[in-house]
Chains A and B, each alone.
Chain A
Amino acid sequence: MPLDSRRICGPESTQSPHIFTVNKDIKSDILLNGERKDGRKLDQIRPLFLRPGLISQAKGSAYIEQNHTKVICAVYGPREVMRKEDFSMKGQLTCEFKFATFSCKKKRQHQQDAEEKDLSVQLLEALEPAVQLDKFPKAQVNVYITVLQNDGIALAASITCASLALADAGIEMYDIVVGSSARIHGDVMLVDPSEEEEYRSQDCKDVNEGKVVIGLMPSINQISALTSKGEIDFETISQAIKTCIQTCQKVYPVLQNALVNSVKTKT
């Protein structure tokens, strides 16, 4: 890795102490006697805490917390396009996705890594269909997302958080995009998986192990983002998408409520 001259640098190579854990719990199945480890039902989402408009300097912002998953988002703009190569007649949206260095079990780097870049693109593709870009020609809106702690569904929570922040900023949209994720485990579907329940390619051997993330605009019934991982058969993946849609519909009133409340407190 090239030396970062603009930051305080520590020793060159470090290792996480957790690699050397003795008496490590052997990774057992994600379900205990057919039940989830945190006692939730299969289709039960974790309690959701939403708070739009908490960053005083931003045009719009939002914070979302689902158990240990904590995501904060700020929206700036519409503002002038910085680089002239980026100029376009249509409005533009940019997304910056970042995991805080301390947000995961493994230490994250300061610079954006490949995964974060990929997530930025996915987030952008989820939000773009919802934003009325023609309303701010020649300008851009910047969305910055920081995951403070990742306990599963980082992408889905970011989608929800970012669209709340966009709404808080008063950017015109067709609808709020609600993100939701499901883990597919054999013929069981776990909605809103925690970090422990999330899909990892290395410890899965069978077909039908994977995850699905969707972004839905509930009131116009349009899917703006859809990604999956892992080898899944056709029926199961269709079922998972349907389950995710249902989850989004369930969460939607909560988001509306949070926005209405934040507008009320502002005035």
Chain B
Amino acid sequence: MADVNYSEAEKTFILHGIQDKFPCREDGRGCEDYRHMEIETGVVSNTSGSARLRLANTDILVGVKAELGVPSPEKPDSGCIEFFVDCSANATPEFEGRGGEELATEISTVLSRCYDNSGCLDLKSLCIIPKQQCWILYIDVLLLECGGNLFDAASIGVKAALYNTRIPNVTVNQEDDEMEIELSDDPYDVNRLDISSSPCIVTLSKIGHYHVVDASQKEEACCLARLMMGVTAKGTISALKKEGWGSLNPESIFDMMETGKKIGQVLNTSLLNVLEEEEKSGNKRKTVGFLK
């Protein structure tokens, strides 16, 4: 993790703020409040779908590329989804060289675990000819700036980019024994992915005796253990992972899970609302891009 060294006094200040239970986190939020979030989809034109997310200082760009490929022998009748996370050295100097690799694999394994079940994303619909052809979704997550809570931000970015993804329609023509695939070249003849049950990650950081969502970088430095949950709109949990070098009491884990479930559901619905709204505004929408 991109650690910053804070003095003991500063850590104690943050700890006490949260301990007082009074909504008094260092930036004045309550324990269950997210920071301001900005999201824009369709920012990279040469991808099948893309999204850029800014959560306070955390900046993430997600691109989805759909390519034709061969399904894996274990799952011959479904498509594949592959995550790749790149921690750019722009985000923090620590990522220079191979410094960000560990964090990057951690984020990508958590993401792929969240999507590693048939409920979250219908991979079967990505299959074209069983055992021979399917769509492979390469999801590239580029970390541009670190401002804490990278896992949540990445998952929200991924979900938005998947919402934005358009996969060209494919028709299969069978001639004798030869299967022929024809790719539609009409840019409007496309399929979309159903992301209504895709998960968002909610990370709960245990600070002192309480847990907070969406920890800032400073708060992350004070946190001993956290729980990451992939939560779907239905409130089901698609992945759970404890992280950090502290341990947790079972009771507090259940408390954290409860909070996570509640927050996750709200997060999912509001994300979907925002995405739909953005879509409705259509071409009239003012694109913001990176220059703002």
Q: Is A227's CB under 8 angstroms from B241's CB? A: yes
Q: Which residues of chain B have C-beta atoms less than 8 A from A201's C-beta?
A: 116-118
Pick out which of these stretches binds chain B: A38-46, A139-147, A162-170, A234-242. Answer: A234-242
From A209, A224, A227, give the contact of B240 (CB < 8 A): A227
| Residues of chain B contacted by A229 (CB below 8 angstroms) | 113, 116-117, 239
Contact between chains at B242 and A234 (CB < 8 Å): no
Chain A residues 156-205 with CB under 8 Å of chain B are 201-202, 204-205
What are the residues of chain A within 8 A of B240 when measuring CB–CB? 212, 226-228, 237
* CA distance in complex: A204, B120 (Å): 12
* B187: interface (CB < 8 Å): no
Whether a CB of chain A sits under 8 angstroms from the CB of B28 is no
Q: Please state if B245 and A226 are interface contacts (CB–CB under 8 Å).
A: no
Number of A residues near B (Cβ < 8 Å) is 38
Contact check, B247 vs A129: say whether CB atoms are below 8 A apart.
yes
* Cα distance, A233 to B236, chains bound together (Å): 4
| Interface pair B237/A224, CB less than 8 Å apart | no
What residues of chain B lie closer than 8 Å to A234, measured between beta carbons?
235-237, 257-258, 261
Query: What is the CA–CA distance of A206 and B248 in the complex, to the nearest angstrom?
Result: 30
Task: Let me know if A222 and B248 touch, CB within 8 A.
Answer: yes
Q: Give the complex CA separation of A210 and B227 in angstroms.
A: 18
Question: Contact string, B43-71, partner A, CB cutoff 8 A, digits 1/0?
Answer: 00000000000000000000000000000
Most buried by A among B75, B120, B242: B242
Q: How far is B229's CA from A232's CA once the two chains are assembled, in angstroms? A: 11
Question: Which of A25-33, A76-84, A113-121 participates in binding chain B?
Answer: A113-121
Residues from 229 to 256 in A contacting B, C-beta threshold 8 Å:
229-234, 237-238, 241-242, 245
Per-position binary interface string of chain B over residues 244-278, scored 1 when its CB falls under 8 Å from any chain A CB and 0 otherwise: 11111110011001100100000000000000000
Contact of A222 among B105, B232, B238, B249 (CB under 8 A): B249
Q: Is B132's beta carbon under 8 Å from chain A?
A: no
> Is A202 touching B113 in the complex (CB atoms < 8 A)?
no
- Tell whether, in the assembled complex, residue A228 and residue B237 are in contact, meaning their CB atoms are under 8 Å apart: yes
Give per-residue flags for A50-80: 1 if the beta carbon is below 8 A from chain B beta carbons, else 0: 0000000000000000000000000000000
Q: Mark A201-225, 1 if CB is under 8 A from B, else 0.
A: 1101111011010000100011111
Judging by beta carbons under 8 Å apart, are A230 and B257 in contact? no
- With both beta carbons as reference points, the residue of chain B lying nearest to A124 in the complex is identified as B245
A114→B118 contact, CB < 8 A: no
Chain B CB within 8 A of A89 CB: no
Residue B208 at the chain A interface, CB threshold 8 Å? no
A125 at the interface (CB under 8 A from B): yes
A1 at the interface (CB under 8 A from B): no
Among residues of B, the one whose C-beta sits closest to the C-beta of A244 is B250
Q: Are A230 and B238 interface neighbours, CB within 8 A?
A: yes
**Does B96 have its Cβ within 8 Å of any Cβ on chain A?**
no
Please, how many angstroms separate the alpha-carbon atoms of A159 and B239 in the complex?
Answer: 20
A234 to B263, CA, bound (A): 13
Counting CB contacts under 8 A, is B119 at the interface? Answer: yes
The verdict on A129 contacting B118 (CB below 8 Å), with A228-B240, A245-B250 known, is no
When the two chains form the complex, which single residue of B105, B120, B237, B254 contacts A114, counting CB atoms closer than 8 Å?
Answer: B105
Contact of B247 with A19 in the complex, beta carbons under 8 Å: no
Minimum CB–CB distance for A225 against chain B, Å? 6
- Report chain A residues within 8 Å CB of B234: 207, 233
A232 to B250, CA, bound (A): 18
In the docked arrangement, what's the CA distance between A237 and B237, Å? 8
A-B contact pairs, 8 of them (CB 8 A): A117-B105, A129-B225, A217-B247, A227-B242, A228-B241, A233-B235, A234-B236, A234-B258
Q: A117-B105, A204-B118, A242-B250 are in contact. List 9 more A-B contacts (CB 8 A).
A: A118-B109, A125-B245, A205-B118, A209-B117, A222-B247, A223-B247, A223-B248, A225-B242, A234-B258
**Residues on B facing A (Cβ under 8 Å):** 73-75, 78, 105-106, 109, 113, 116-120, 225, 227, 232, 234-250, 253-254, 257-258, 261
